[in-house]
Amino acid sequence: MENMSSINSREIGTLGIFHIKRLWAMHVKGLRCDHENEGVISQFVVDGLELDTREVISFLNETKPTFSDFEAWILNKHERNIPSVIKEKVNRAVSSFLEVGPRVYPQSLEIEDPVFSKEDMEFWEKNGYIVLRNAIPLEDCRKAVNIMWDFLEMNPDEPDNWHERSEFFWIRNYQHAIFRKNRESLKIHKAFAQIWGTEALFPAVHSLSFNPPAKDGISQYGPSYLHWDASIAMPMPLDVIGLLYLNDVDENQGAFQCVPGFHHKMESWLASLPEDVDPRMEIRKSSEAVNISGKAGDLIISRQELPHGSSLNRGNSPRFVQYILKHPPDRGINPVWK
Protein backbone atom coordinates (compact mmCIF):
# COMPACT_ATOMS: atom_id res chain seq x y z
CA MET A 1 0.00 0.00 0.00
CA GLU A 2 1.20 3.48 -0.83
CA ASN A 3 2.63 5.47 2.03
CA MET A 4 0.41 8.53 2.06
CA SER A 5 2.66 10.65 4.23
CA SER A 6 5.33 10.48 1.51
CA ILE A 7 3.11 12.30 -0.98
CA ASN A 8 4.55 15.76 -1.28
CA SER A 9 3.06 18.80 -2.99
CA ARG A 10 5.29 18.35 -6.05
CA GLU A 11 4.11 14.82 -6.68
CA ILE A 12 2.11 14.71 -9.88
CA GLY A 13 -0.26 12.33 -11.58
CA THR A 14 -1.12 12.09 -15.24
CA LEU A 15 -2.31 15.72 -15.39
CA GLY A 16 1.09 17.04 -14.29
CA ILE A 17 -0.39 19.37 -11.67
CA PHE A 18 1.31 19.92 -8.33
CA HIS A 19 -0.42 19.32 -5.02
CA ILE A 20 -3.68 17.76 -6.24
CA LYS A 21 -2.52 14.33 -5.11
CA ARG A 22 -1.98 15.64 -1.59
CA LEU A 23 -5.33 17.41 -1.70
CA TRP A 24 -6.99 14.15 -2.74
CA ALA A 25 -5.15 12.14 -0.07
CA MET A 26 -6.16 14.62 2.65
CA HIS A 27 -9.84 14.17 1.91
CA VAL A 28 -9.94 10.55 0.81
CA LYS A 29 -7.12 8.88 2.73
CA GLY A 30 -7.06 10.97 5.87
CA LEU A 31 -3.61 12.44 5.18
CA ARG A 32 -2.91 15.13 7.74
CA CYS A 33 -1.85 18.67 6.88
CA ASP A 34 1.87 19.22 7.18
CA HIS A 35 1.69 22.81 8.26
CA GLU A 36 -0.79 25.65 8.76
CA ASN A 37 -0.27 26.96 5.24
CA GLU A 38 -1.29 23.74 3.57
CA GLY A 39 -4.85 25.11 3.35
CA VAL A 40 -3.53 28.13 1.43
CA ILE A 41 -1.87 25.89 -1.14
CA SER A 42 -5.00 23.76 -1.54
CA GLN A 43 -7.07 26.91 -1.96
CA PHE A 44 -4.96 28.52 -4.65
CA VAL A 45 -4.55 25.26 -6.55
CA VAL A 46 -8.34 24.91 -6.68
CA ASP A 47 -8.70 28.59 -7.60
CA GLY A 48 -5.95 28.31 -10.22
CA LEU A 49 -7.77 25.37 -11.80
CA GLU A 50 -10.92 27.53 -11.85
CA LEU A 51 -12.89 25.07 -9.77
CA ASP A 52 -15.47 25.79 -7.11
CA THR A 53 -13.94 24.90 -3.73
CA ARG A 54 -17.21 23.66 -2.24
CA GLU A 55 -17.81 21.42 -5.22
CA VAL A 56 -14.29 19.96 -5.04
CA ILE A 57 -14.53 19.28 -1.32
CA SER A 58 -17.95 17.67 -1.52
CA PHE A 59 -16.86 15.54 -4.50
CA LEU A 60 -13.84 14.28 -2.57
CA ASN A 61 -15.60 13.78 0.76
CA GLU A 62 -18.81 12.27 -0.53
CA THR A 63 -17.57 10.22 -3.48
CA LYS A 64 -14.19 9.14 -2.10
CA PRO A 65 -12.83 8.72 -5.63
CA THR A 66 -9.56 7.04 -6.59
CA PHE A 67 -6.86 9.54 -7.50
CA SER A 68 -7.25 8.79 -11.19
CA ASP A 69 -11.02 9.34 -10.87
CA PHE A 70 -10.28 12.70 -9.27
CA GLU A 71 -7.96 13.63 -12.13
CA ALA A 72 -10.59 12.53 -14.66
CA TRP A 73 -13.18 14.67 -12.84
CA ILE A 74 -10.91 17.72 -13.01
CA LEU A 75 -10.22 17.06 -16.67
CA ASN A 76 -13.95 16.85 -17.42
CA LYS A 77 -14.47 20.22 -15.76
CA HIS A 78 -12.10 21.61 -18.40
CA GLU A 79 -13.83 19.80 -21.23
CA ARG A 80 -10.94 17.33 -21.35
CA ASN A 81 -8.25 19.90 -22.02
CA ILE A 82 -6.52 21.86 -19.29
CA PRO A 83 -4.58 24.67 -20.98
CA SER A 84 -0.84 24.45 -20.25
CA VAL A 85 -0.88 28.07 -19.14
CA ILE A 86 -3.16 27.08 -16.24
CA LYS A 87 -0.96 24.13 -15.26
CA GLU A 88 2.17 26.28 -15.38
CA LYS A 89 0.53 29.02 -13.34
CA VAL A 90 -0.54 26.58 -10.63
CA ASN A 91 2.77 24.73 -10.51
CA ARG A 92 4.74 27.98 -10.40
CA ALA A 93 2.62 29.23 -7.52
CA VAL A 94 3.04 25.98 -5.55
CA SER A 95 6.82 25.98 -6.09
CA SER A 96 7.14 29.61 -5.14
CA PHE A 97 5.03 29.17 -2.01
CA LEU A 98 7.03 26.11 -0.91
CA GLU A 99 10.28 28.01 -1.39
CA VAL A 100 9.36 31.48 -0.13
CA GLY A 101 6.22 31.03 2.00
CA PRO A 102 3.43 33.58 2.48
CA ARG A 103 3.86 37.28 1.82
CA VAL A 104 2.37 40.17 3.73
CA TYR A 105 -0.22 42.26 1.87
CA PRO A 106 -0.91 44.87 0.65
CA GLN A 107 2.24 45.07 -1.42
CA SER A 108 3.14 48.41 -2.91
CA LEU A 109 2.90 47.94 -6.67
CA GLU A 110 1.61 51.04 -8.45
CA ILE A 111 -1.15 49.86 -10.79
CA GLU A 112 -1.10 51.31 -14.29
CA ASP A 113 -4.31 53.18 -15.16
CA PRO A 114 -5.85 52.54 -11.74
CA VAL A 115 -9.62 52.31 -11.41
CA PHE A 116 -9.75 53.92 -7.95
CA SER A 117 -8.77 57.55 -7.40
CA LYS A 118 -6.73 58.82 -4.46
CA GLU A 119 -10.00 59.87 -2.79
CA ASP A 120 -11.49 56.41 -3.41
CA MET A 121 -8.48 54.82 -1.72
CA GLU A 122 -8.79 57.20 1.23
CA PHE A 123 -12.41 56.10 1.54
CA TRP A 124 -11.22 52.47 1.48
CA GLU A 125 -8.65 53.14 4.22
CA LYS A 126 -11.24 54.86 6.39
CA ASN A 127 -14.23 52.59 5.81
CA GLY A 128 -12.75 49.21 4.86
CA TYR A 129 -15.04 48.83 1.88
CA ILE A 130 -15.15 50.35 -1.59
CA VAL A 131 -17.48 50.33 -4.59
CA LEU A 132 -16.28 50.12 -8.18
CA ARG A 133 -19.01 51.67 -10.32
CA ASN A 134 -19.83 50.15 -13.72
CA ALA A 135 -17.38 47.31 -13.23
CA ILE A 136 -19.00 45.39 -16.08
CA PRO A 137 -21.26 46.54 -18.95
CA LEU A 138 -25.01 46.75 -18.32
CA GLU A 139 -25.59 44.39 -21.21
CA ASP A 140 -23.63 41.64 -19.41
CA CYS A 141 -25.63 42.24 -16.22
CA ARG A 142 -28.88 41.75 -18.13
CA LYS A 143 -27.58 38.58 -19.73
CA ALA A 144 -26.48 37.22 -16.36
CA VAL A 145 -29.81 38.01 -14.71
CA ASN A 146 -31.78 36.39 -17.53
CA ILE A 147 -29.65 33.28 -17.27
CA MET A 148 -30.29 33.17 -13.53
CA TRP A 149 -34.07 33.46 -14.03
CA ASP A 150 -33.90 30.58 -16.51
CA PHE A 151 -31.74 28.50 -14.22
CA LEU A 152 -34.10 29.13 -11.30
CA GLU A 153 -37.03 28.27 -13.59
CA MET A 154 -38.80 31.39 -12.38
CA ASN A 155 -40.58 34.17 -14.19
CA PRO A 156 -39.74 37.81 -13.43
CA ASP A 157 -43.43 38.63 -13.89
CA GLU A 158 -44.69 36.06 -11.40
CA PRO A 159 -43.59 37.12 -7.92
CA ASP A 160 -45.75 34.44 -6.32
CA ASN A 161 -43.38 31.83 -7.74
CA TRP A 162 -40.19 33.44 -6.51
CA HIS A 163 -40.31 31.47 -3.29
CA GLU A 164 -40.91 28.04 -4.73
CA ARG A 165 -37.39 26.70 -4.81
CA SER A 166 -36.05 24.54 -2.06
CA GLU A 167 -32.49 25.87 -2.44
CA PHE A 168 -32.15 29.04 -0.45
CA PHE A 169 -30.24 32.10 -1.42
CA TRP A 170 -27.20 30.47 -2.97
CA ILE A 171 -27.05 29.22 -6.51
CA ARG A 172 -24.12 26.87 -6.51
CA ASN A 173 -22.07 25.01 -9.05
CA TYR A 174 -23.50 26.97 -11.87
CA GLN A 175 -21.23 27.44 -14.84
CA HIS A 176 -21.90 29.77 -17.72
CA ALA A 177 -19.60 31.75 -19.98
CA ILE A 178 -21.10 35.07 -18.88
CA PHE A 179 -20.05 34.57 -15.24
CA ARG A 180 -16.56 33.67 -16.36
CA LYS A 181 -16.50 36.78 -18.55
CA ASN A 182 -17.48 38.90 -15.53
CA ARG A 183 -14.74 37.29 -13.44
CA GLU A 184 -12.20 38.06 -16.15
CA SER A 185 -13.16 41.75 -16.45
CA LEU A 186 -10.03 43.90 -16.65
CA LYS A 187 -11.62 46.62 -14.54
CA ILE A 188 -12.40 44.14 -11.79
CA HIS A 189 -8.89 42.75 -11.99
CA LYS A 190 -7.47 46.25 -11.59
CA ALA A 191 -9.73 46.97 -8.61
CA PHE A 192 -8.45 43.93 -6.74
CA ALA A 193 -4.90 44.62 -7.89
CA GLN A 194 -5.10 48.10 -6.37
CA ILE A 195 -6.41 46.74 -3.07
CA TRP A 196 -3.74 44.02 -2.83
CA GLY A 197 -0.94 46.08 -4.34
CA THR A 198 -0.09 43.35 -6.82
CA GLU A 199 -1.19 42.16 -10.25
CA ALA A 200 -0.41 38.52 -9.46
CA LEU A 201 -3.90 37.41 -8.50
CA PHE A 202 -5.90 34.21 -8.81
CA PRO A 203 -9.66 34.51 -9.30
CA ALA A 204 -11.76 32.28 -7.09
CA VAL A 205 -14.82 30.61 -8.57
CA HIS A 206 -17.69 31.63 -6.37
CA SER A 207 -21.41 31.28 -6.16
CA LEU A 208 -24.28 33.42 -7.31
CA SER A 209 -27.10 34.47 -5.06
CA PHE A 210 -30.77 35.21 -5.41
CA ASN A 211 -32.41 37.28 -2.69
CA PRO A 212 -36.12 37.87 -3.41
CA PRO A 213 -38.40 40.19 -1.43
CA ALA A 214 -39.47 38.82 1.92
CA LYS A 215 -42.95 37.30 1.80
CA ASP A 216 -45.27 38.46 4.60
CA GLY A 217 -42.28 40.09 6.27
CA ILE A 218 -40.45 36.78 6.46
CA SER A 219 -37.76 35.57 4.10
CA GLN A 220 -36.56 32.00 3.91
CA TYR A 221 -33.64 33.37 1.84
CA GLY A 222 -32.22 35.68 4.43
CA PRO A 223 -31.28 38.04 5.83
CA SER A 224 -27.98 36.71 7.07
CA TYR A 225 -26.86 37.94 10.45
CA LEU A 226 -23.87 40.20 10.69
CA HIS A 227 -20.93 37.81 10.64
CA TRP A 228 -17.32 37.31 9.65
CA ASP A 229 -16.25 34.75 7.08
CA ALA A 230 -12.69 34.61 8.41
CA SER A 231 -11.03 33.81 11.72
CA ILE A 232 -11.23 36.83 14.05
CA ALA A 233 -8.07 35.98 15.99
CA MET A 234 -5.92 39.09 15.96
CA PRO A 235 -3.97 40.20 14.04
CA MET A 236 -6.00 39.41 10.92
CA PRO A 237 -4.00 39.37 7.68
CA LEU A 238 -5.50 41.45 4.86
CA ASP A 239 -8.30 39.55 3.17
CA VAL A 240 -11.39 40.69 1.32
CA ILE A 241 -14.74 39.61 -0.06
CA GLY A 242 -16.27 40.89 -3.27
CA LEU A 243 -19.75 40.94 -4.73
CA LEU A 244 -21.04 42.19 -8.02
CA TYR A 245 -24.59 43.54 -8.23
CA LEU A 246 -26.22 42.23 -11.40
CA ASN A 247 -29.31 44.41 -11.02
CA ASP A 248 -30.02 47.77 -9.38
CA VAL A 249 -30.18 47.24 -5.63
CA ASP A 250 -31.83 49.83 -3.39
CA GLU A 251 -30.93 50.11 0.25
CA ASN A 252 -34.05 48.18 1.24
CA GLN A 253 -33.73 45.55 -1.47
CA GLY A 254 -31.64 43.00 0.39
CA ALA A 255 -28.52 45.13 -0.06
CA PHE A 256 -25.14 44.05 1.26
CA GLN A 257 -24.63 45.47 4.72
CA CYS A 258 -21.48 46.01 6.72
CA VAL A 259 -20.13 48.04 9.62
CA PRO A 260 -17.90 50.72 8.04
CA GLY A 261 -14.55 51.34 9.64
CA PHE A 262 -14.77 48.32 11.94
CA HIS A 263 -11.23 47.27 11.00
CA HIS A 264 -9.93 50.27 12.96
CA LYS A 265 -11.67 49.37 16.18
CA MET A 266 -11.99 45.62 15.99
CA GLU A 267 -9.10 44.87 18.30
CA SER A 268 -10.28 47.21 21.06
CA TRP A 269 -13.89 46.04 20.62
CA LEU A 270 -12.80 42.41 21.06
CA ALA A 271 -10.70 43.33 24.10
CA SER A 272 -13.66 45.15 25.67
CA LEU A 273 -15.90 42.08 25.66
CA PRO A 274 -16.29 40.07 28.87
CA GLU A 275 -14.67 36.64 28.58
CA ASP A 276 -17.93 34.73 28.51
CA VAL A 277 -19.30 36.75 25.58
CA ASP A 278 -19.03 35.22 22.12
CA PRO A 279 -18.03 38.02 19.70
CA ARG A 280 -19.80 36.30 16.82
CA MET A 281 -23.10 36.40 18.75
CA GLU A 282 -22.49 39.86 20.16
CA ILE A 283 -21.90 41.45 16.76
CA ARG A 284 -25.40 40.47 15.64
CA LYS A 285 -26.74 43.10 18.02
CA SER A 286 -24.78 45.91 16.37
CA SER A 287 -26.84 48.83 15.15
CA GLU A 288 -23.96 50.33 13.17
CA ALA A 289 -24.38 48.36 9.96
CA VAL A 290 -25.21 50.33 6.82
CA ASN A 291 -26.87 48.98 3.68
CA ILE A 292 -24.83 49.57 0.54
CA SER A 293 -27.08 50.31 -2.42
CA GLY A 294 -25.74 50.07 -5.95
CA LYS A 295 -26.50 49.90 -9.63
CA ALA A 296 -26.28 46.88 -11.90
CA GLY A 297 -22.60 46.34 -12.62
CA ASP A 298 -21.27 47.80 -9.35
CA LEU A 299 -18.67 45.75 -7.51
CA ILE A 300 -18.37 45.99 -3.71
CA ILE A 301 -15.12 44.95 -2.08
CA SER A 302 -15.02 44.71 1.71
CA ARG A 303 -12.29 43.84 4.18
CA GLN A 304 -12.82 40.64 6.13
CA GLU A 305 -12.67 42.55 9.41
CA LEU A 306 -15.97 44.24 8.61
CA PRO A 307 -18.96 42.38 10.01
CA HIS A 308 -21.29 41.92 7.07
CA GLY A 309 -24.38 40.16 5.78
CA SER A 310 -27.27 40.52 3.40
CA SER A 311 -30.15 42.61 4.69
CA LEU A 312 -33.82 41.69 4.58
CA ASN A 313 -35.29 42.45 1.18
CA ARG A 314 -38.21 44.81 1.85
CA GLY A 315 -38.41 45.93 -1.79
CA ASN A 316 -40.39 44.58 -4.71
CA SER A 317 -37.59 43.08 -6.77
CA PRO A 318 -35.04 40.38 -6.06
CA ARG A 319 -31.35 41.09 -5.65
CA PHE A 320 -29.02 39.22 -8.02
CA VAL A 321 -25.37 38.89 -7.07
CA GLN A 322 -22.27 37.22 -8.44
CA TYR A 323 -19.57 36.79 -5.82
CA ILE A 324 -16.21 37.68 -7.28
CA LEU A 325 -12.95 37.43 -5.49
CA LYS A 326 -9.36 37.72 -6.62
CA HIS A 327 -6.48 37.23 -4.28
CA PRO A 328 -2.76 36.65 -4.38
CA PRO A 329 -2.05 32.93 -4.04
CA ASP A 330 0.69 33.53 -1.49
CA ARG A 331 -1.29 35.58 0.99
CA GLY A 332 -1.01 34.43 4.58
CA ILE A 333 -3.87 32.94 6.49
CA ASN A 334 -4.68 33.37 10.12
CA PRO A 335 -2.92 30.48 11.88
CA VAL A 336 -5.58 30.44 14.63
CA TRP A 337 -9.32 29.97 14.13
CA LYS A 338 -11.47 31.99 16.45
Which CB, 19 or 128, lies closer to Fe ion?
128
Which CB, 90 or 299, lies closer to Fe ion?
299
Shortest Cβ 308–Fe ion spacing (Å): 6
Q: Name residues whose C-beta falls within 8 Å of residue 315's C-beta, 6 or more positions apart in sequence.
A: 213, 250, 252, 253, 254
Which CB, 9 or 211, lies closer to Fe ion?
211
- C-alpha span between 221 and 157 (Å, rounded): 19
Shortest Cβ 118–Fe ion spacing (Å): 29
- C-alpha span between 324 and 205 (Å, rounded): 7
User: What is the number of other CB atoms lying within 10 angstroms of the CB of residue 207?
Assistant: 17
Shortest Cβ 267–Fe ion spacing (Å): 20
Instruction: Tell me, rounded to whole angstroms, the distance of Cα 191 from its chain centroid.
Output: 15
Which CB, 198 or 322, lies closer to Fe ion?
322
Which CB, 194 or 209, lies closer to Fe ion?
209
Map residue 201 onto helix, strand or coil: coil
- Dmax over CA atoms of the chain, in Å, equals 61
Shortest Cβ 241–Fe ion spacing (Å): 6
Which CB, 93 or 238, lies closer to Fe ion?
238
Shortest Cβ 227–Fe ion spacing (Å): 6
Beta strand spans in the chain (E): 129-132, 170-171, 202-204, 208-211, 240-245, 256-258, 290-292, 299-303, 308-310, 319-323, 325-327
Q: Name residues whose C-beta falls within 8 Å of residue 186's C-beta, 6 or more positions apart in sequence.
A: none
DSSP state of 249: B
Which residue has the closest beta carbon to Fe ion? 229
Q: Cβ(13)–Cβ(71) under 8 Å?
A: yes
Shortest Cβ 11–Fe ion spacing (Å): 34
Which CB, 153 or 229, lies closer to Fe ion?
229
Binding footprint of Fe ion on the chain (CB under 5 A): 229
Q: Cβ(27)–Cβ(77) under 8 Å?
A: no
Q: Cβ(109)–Cβ(198) under 8 Å?
A: yes
Shortest Cβ 302–Fe ion spacing (Å): 9
Shortest Cβ 129–Fe ion spacing (Å): 13
Which CB, 9 or 302, lies closer to Fe ion?
302
